[in-house]
A and B are shown apart, each in its own frame.
Chain A
Amino acid sequence: MTLLRNFARFWYDFVVGDDWQVALGVVLALAACYGLVQGGVNAWWLPPVAVVLLLGLSLLRVVRTARRG
């Protein structure tokens, strides 16, 4: 059980890293882009906008934590 948990933990750390909200944001942005494309909208602009927002929000969380700590 510990082995399984360590294995899962390793892959979580490897793929998701230390800010799960960024990973979730990437998935949601790509899902929204896919949905728009299926609806006939060439939403190439959506992922770049998501990158700017996700990086900015992630940095904001770091700064807030640093200032609190």
Chain B
Amino acid sequence: MSSWVLFLTVFLACTVEAVEALTIILAAGTSRHWGSALQGTGAALVALAATVAVLGPAVSLIPINALRLVVGALLLVFGLQWLRKAVMRGSGYKALHDETAAFAEEVEAARAAATGGRGAVRDWYAFTLSFKGTFLEGLEVAFIVVTFGNNQKNVPVAALGALAAVVLVAAVGIAVRAPLAKVPENTMKFVVGTMLTAFGVFWATEGTGAHWPGSDTSLLALVPAVALIALGYTAVLRRSNPAVKNSVGTPAGAPVEGSLT
């Protein structure tokens, strides 16, 4: 795996999660209290950094075959979850992820929640909402950074990919102060799901002691094969979905059925 592929995989995964976290932080900040929302984000980033600091060295101590088996299995389960959602969205069985709608829902829930602070935090709801959003979205990325980085013996490049994504999303978020609805999130999820599944199956298989024909070069076949299988499932499900068949007249850009973008 080249450094660029490692960088790009982590960058895409991190961008998707950062966009979702940004939506939650914006909802907490605009509808409740910006200071508390930013305190929650900061606390979550510290908690994430601590998790990575503990997890990173611990992971590097595990023997490589055991690491590949466990990490590969976990990546495979994550990857299949991402792919399944991407296929469902691409075939119209699930609404495309819409950050504008997600933002509206979060704002409504935040406005309805009780007010009140604790200690240095003026608005506890805004704090916990931001904390949970940032921590939960960040945990999966932290796992990807640590596992991909350790497996490829290149944690700095993986960390750089994550950092670049967070900085980019945060900068754009600060500039527009609105949910990043135009990011092709569903397509990115499809790509990341494909990469997680392909690398998961590759590493987990090696972890069992089996050997791929062609060793590392088999990944060159594995990644497009996973993508084709997922696209094939999407096409089959789209064809059999009555909701898609009946939506021929749906205006372009409608946030439900259609493409992965």
Contacts and interface: CB of A to CB of B under 8 A. Distances in A.
A61 B222 CA distance: 25
Contact of B230 (A30, A33, A36, A55): A55
B81 A22 contact: yes
B80 A26 contact: yes
B210 A16 contact: no
Given A48-B222, A55-B229, A62-B88, A18 B208 contact: no
A55 B83 contact: yes
B146 interface: no
A26 B233 contact: no
B69 interface: yes
A8 interface: no
Contacts of B181: none
B77 A59 contact: no
B211 A44 contact: yes
Contacts, number: 91
B160 interface: no
B226 A51 contact: yes
B216 to A, nearest CB: 13
- Chain A: interface residue count, which band? 20 to 34
Interface residues of B, number: 36
B193 to A, nearest CB: 10
Nearest to B69: A30
Interface string B177-213: 0000000000000000000010001001101111111
B210 A48 contact: no
A52 to B, nearest CB: 6
Contacts of A63: 93, 237, 240
Nearest to B242: A67
Interface string A31-63: 001101110001110111001101110110011
Contact of A66 (B72, B81, B93, B204): B93
Contacts of A66: 93
Given A47-B205, A51-B226, A22 B80 contact: yes
Given A15-B74, A46-B205, A55-B233, 7 more contacts: A26-B73, A26-B80, A30-B205, A30-B207, A33-B205, A55-B230, A62-B94
17 contacts: A14-B139, A15-B74, A26-B80, A27-B73, A30-B72, A30-B73, A33-B205, A33-B208, A34-B208, A44-B212, A44-B213, A47-B204, A52-B229, A55-B87, A55-B230, A59-B88, A63-B237
Interface of B: 69, 72-74, 76-78, 80-81, 83-84, 87-88, 93-94, 139-140, 197, 201, 204-205, 207-213, 222, 225-226, 229-230, 233, 237, 240
